[in-house]
Amino acid sequence: MTRPSEDALIARFFAPLATSAGADGLTDDAAVIPPGEGDLVVTKDMAIAGVHFFPDDPPGLVAAKALRVNLSDLAAKGAVPAGMLLGLGLAADWSVDWLDAFAKGLAADLDAYGCPLLGGDTVKVPGPLTLSVTAFGRANRTVRRRGARPGDLLCVTGTIGDGALGLVARQAERDPATAPGWLAALGEDHRRHLVDRYLKPQPRVALARAVARHASAAMDVSDGLVGDLAKMMAASGTGAMVDAGTVPLSLAAAAAIATDPALRIRALTGGDDYEILLACPPARLSSLQADAGAVAVPLAVIGEVTGSGSVTWSLDGQPLTFGSERFEHF
């Protein structure tokens, strides 16, 4: 099948996604952000084949994940989506069928999350497929990492550890020889849940307005709960006490940890959760819980902010340490 030119590629695959008037059908070199009240919040993440996703992951899910990890950042700032820009670096072996599936996956998420495509750029790259998403959101009050205060309660949405364990499960799908014993001990439903959570993160966009109303500090959990909590406490100049036993786990992650207790460390440090970690004044907790319940977002209290400047973890009343087991980009 003949590949389209860059202009034809944009017109065929991406112009139909540019539904905002400010995008002008992707016929210009710039766009106008849709109007709205509050702060304009901007975030950007990149994704590279072989680094952030497997080269043979379904293209529609690659597109969805590239968008969703950015929407997770916006939600943690209390911002709802307003639009996005896409940078697409296509490797030499790209195909029309692959790009068609990619565009369809992106279109479904743009519609589901109300985040229109405003523009971007497409290039050929000598290396692997490279994606760059810049997402814009609106927040009536932007919530930073640095606002936590001693006495605030630490909360987290959803479940923790599925993405990290799901990475292992996805690798085992591609190469069964890599499957560890704990994975083989899980039922098919649990294995499928972990893979799906790795491939399809669930950004907590529905909770964004509640974060803006109630949180004193917040960030999305992308690099592991342990490391991200340390970052938030460092930014706030505070410490924390956390009971690892209160960190919410899915049935699949709990089953894996029951088989191999050492996996708790991987779950807490491994990343790819895309949940929201937030600090909330005790007087605001019941309202936050009510708002979370109203949009069906699970929320758990896992600890308390302290003034000590250090973060301490415990499990069953005993200290829990992690050494250097935190995800770092470099």
Q: Which of 112, 121, 118, 122 is nearest to 135 (CA)?
A: 118
**Contacts with 201 (C-beta within 8 Å, 6 or more apart), sequence order:** 65, 68, 69, 72, 163, 272, 273, 274
Alpha-carbon dihedral angle through residues 169, 88, 201, 206, given to the nearest 10 degrees? 180
Dist CA 10 CA 48 (whole Å): 21
**How many residues appear in the chain?**
330
291 known member of a binding site: no
316 known member of a binding site: no
162's enclosing H/E stretch is helix 162-174
Alpha-carbon dihedral angle through residues 102, 103, 107, 113, given to the nearest 10 degrees? 50
204 known member of a binding site: no
Structure tokens at 10: 């944009």
43 known member of a binding site: yes
52 known member of a binding site: yes
272 known member of a binding site: yes
310 known member of a binding site: no
Q: Which of 43, 48, 327, 39 is nearest to 203 (CA)?
A: 43
Could you tell me the strand order of the sheet in which 299-306 lies? Answer: 217-221, 275-280, 153-157, 299-306, 239-243, 311-315, 318-320
Strand ranges in 8-103 using DSSP code E only, listed in sequence order: 39-48, 80-90
DSSP assignment of 80-135: EEEEEEEEEEE-TT--HHHHHHHHHHHHHHHHHHT--EEEEEEEE-SSS-EEEEEE
242: helix, strand or coil = strand
223 known member of a binding site: yes
Dist CA 275 CA 247 (whole Å): 12
29 known member of a binding site: yes
Q: Which residues are annotated as a binding site?
A: 29, 43, 45, 52, 73, 120-121, 145, 220, 222-223, 272, 327
Task: Enumerate the known binding-site residues for ATP.
Answer: 120-121, 145, 222
Residues of the binding site for Mg(2+): 29, 43, 45, 73, 121, 220, 223
Give binding residues for substrate as ranges.
Answer: 52, 272, 327
